[in-house]
Amino acid sequence: MQKTGFLERSPGNKSMMRLILIVACAVSSIVALWGMFEIHRVISAVLGGESGAVALLGTLGLVIGGALGVIAGSEGLKVLQQRGEAKEVNGNSK
């Protein structure tokens, strides 16, 4: 049996779903890290006495939560795809 790369379902058969999931996970990780950096700045500003920065806390919390949700969803979809591929392989070998 030939080995396949991560983006291949079988040798020479590329998987677009895996590529999309990798891109979604990478972009969401960047957004989550950016949000964490920004929320740190906002909290520092609030502790410094700026009252206008308080309004950004909820928005940044939603951004971070949404990005982490996309990461979790992409991992779940990857598991579903792998199960589907395993069923295809088992179904074709019978």
Structural domain total, the chain: 1
Query: What whole-number distance in Å separates Cα of residue 28 and Cα of residue 63?
Result: 10
Does 20 map to a domain? yes
Q: Which domain holds residue 76?
A: 14-93
Q: Which helix (H) or strand (E) holds 7?
A: none
Does residue 93 register a pLDDT over 60?
Answer: no
The backbone torsions φ and ψ at residue 62, rounded to the nearest 5 degrees and listed phi first, read -70, -40
Query: What whole-number distance in Å separates Cα of residue 22 and Cα of residue 50?
Result: 39
Does 75 map to a domain? yes
Query: What whole-number distance in Å separates Cα of residue 35 and Cα of residue 74?
Result: 19
Does 89 map to a domain? yes
Q: Please compute Rg for the chain using Cα positions.
A: 20
Does 7 map to a domain? no
- What is the tens place of the pLDDT at every residue in 18-76? 788 888 889 999 999 999 999 999 899 889 988 778 888 888 989 999 999 998 888 88
Q: What is the pTM of this model?
A: 0.72
Does 1 map to a domain? no
Asked if residue 64 lies in contact with residue 28, where contact means CB atoms within 8 angstroms, the answer is: no
Give which of 59, 67, 60, 53 is closest to 25, Cα–Cα.
Answer: 67
Does residue 9 register a pLDDT over 90?
Answer: no
